[in-house]
Amino acid sequence: MRKDYIAAAEPADHETEFVEKYWTAVWEQEGGPQGQLDRIPHRDEYRVMAPYMAQLPKGARVMDGGCGLGDWTLYFARQGFSVAGLDLSRQTVEQLQARFPEAEFVDGDIRRTSFPDASFDAYFSWGVFEHFESGLQDCVHEAFRVVKPGGLLFVSVPLDNLRHAVLGSLARPRSAVSNLRFYQWRLTRAELARELEIGGFEVIEVLPINKRQGVLRSLHHEFGLRYEWLLTKGLSVLLAPLIPGSLIAHMVIAVARKPPNKAQHAGPGQ
């Protein structure tokens, strides 16, 4: 597992306050929740999870851990699932509750939620489990508690791809750079699988995703191309299919299952 750092104006903030302030500012800059649902079916995360979600009954209870602007919560709520979107950013959750009263948005911390044990048939969380320096286990353990036996977990975190491995070995020591604080963990596929297994889940599949995002970042950081240039966007579309995910993908997604209760699934006479 590899640590990413970020320049912070207030390095003394407690980690949870820092994460809340940081994301509240990001979402404010993006104009707050707007219910942009049309892009969701085109996202890699959706392509991976859709076949599993299709097997759940209508009304199944689903958790969106770290829902951000709430698009995924709204999307699945409109598909007939009973979805709870939970986020640390109180301001964003208040805006979501005001704009979309038909959906369930809760402010809170995915490491210690107020949901009863075994509440959810499925739990998904994109780009959240990696945000705390003590590691992923607090998030994994709480997910294990609130997911029903036999229930599904979908998690994405930043991939520690080969590009990061090479750049990381060339980077200046952190002690030489002031004003930096921990931002997130990056994990390999094997590391993400191990984190979920330590927490009690059975891992079904682990895949690199968001290759185009990874190419865009490389074009920007290594080649100085600006994100908004058409050239950068065009190159990312052309190059992404040609480069292996392990080299360039931005994120890694895991699908896992909480083992079913043996008693629940034992057939007659067993």
Ligand X SMILES: C[S@@+](CC[C@H](N)C(=O)[O-])C[C@H]1O[C@@H](n2cnc3c(N)ncnc32)[C@H](O)[C@@H]1O
Give least dist CB 192 to ligand X, A: 16
Question: Is residue 189 close enough to count as binding ligand X by CB under 6 A?
Answer: no
Residues 22-51 that bind ligand X (CB under 6 A): 23
> Is 87 in a helix, a strand, or coil?
strand
Q: Which is nearer to ligand X, 60 or 106 (CB)?
A: 106
**HEC string for 7-62:** ECCCCCCCHHHHHHHHHHHHHHHCCCCCCCCCCHHHCHHHHHHHHHHCCCCCCCEE
Span near ligand X by CB under 6 A; candidates 107-115, 167-175, 222-230, 233-241 = 107-115
How far apart, in whole angstroms, are the C-alpha atoms of residue 150 and residue 42?
Answer: 27
Question: Is residue 89 close enough to count as binding ligand X by CB under 6 A?
Answer: yes
How far apart, in whole angstroms, are the C-alpha atoms of residue 49 and residue 254?
Answer: 10
Among residues 60, 93, 106, 110, the one that binds ligand X under rule CB under 6 A: 110
Among residues 48, 61, 87, 236, the one that binds ligand X under rule CB under 6 A: 87
Question: Is residue 126 close enough to count as binding ligand X by CB under 6 A?
Answer: yes
How far apart, in whole angstroms, are the C-alpha atoms of residue 94 and residue 73?
Answer: 15
Among residues 68, 151, 208, 214, the one that binds ligand X under rule CB under 6 A: 68
What b/e readout covers 157-188, taking b as 16+ CB neighbours within 10 angstroms?
bbbbbebbeeeeeeeeeeeeeeeeebbbbbbb
Question: Is residue 109 close enough to count as binding ligand X by CB under 6 A?
Answer: yes
Strand 202-209 versus strand 120-126 pairing type? unpaired
Residue type for position 138? D
Q: Which is nearer to ligand X, 60 or 88 (CB)?
A: 88
Residues 203-242 that bind ligand X (CB under 6 A): none
How far apart, in whole angstroms, are the C-alpha atoms of residue 141 and residue 54?
Answer: 26
Give least dist CB 89 to ligand X, A: 4
Question: Is residue 185 close enough to count as binding ligand X by CB under 6 A?
Answer: no
Q: Which is nearer to ligand X, 109 or 191 (CB)?
A: 109
Question: Is residue 86 close enough to count as binding ligand X by CB under 6 A?
Answer: yes
Give least dist CB 224 to ligand X, A: 25
Tokens standing for residue 140:
């994994």
Which DSSP symbol is given to 109?
B
Give least dist CB 211 to ligand X, A: 17
Q: Which is nearer to ligand X, 139 or 219 (CB)?
A: 139
**Helices (H) and strands (E) in the chain — how many of each?**
11, 9
Q: Which is nearer to ligand X, 184 or 236 (CB)?
A: 184
Question: Is residue 153 close enough to count as binding ligand X by CB under 6 A?
Answer: no
Which residues would be at the binding site for ligand X (CB under 6 A)? 19, 23, 66-68, 86-89, 109-111, 126-128, 131
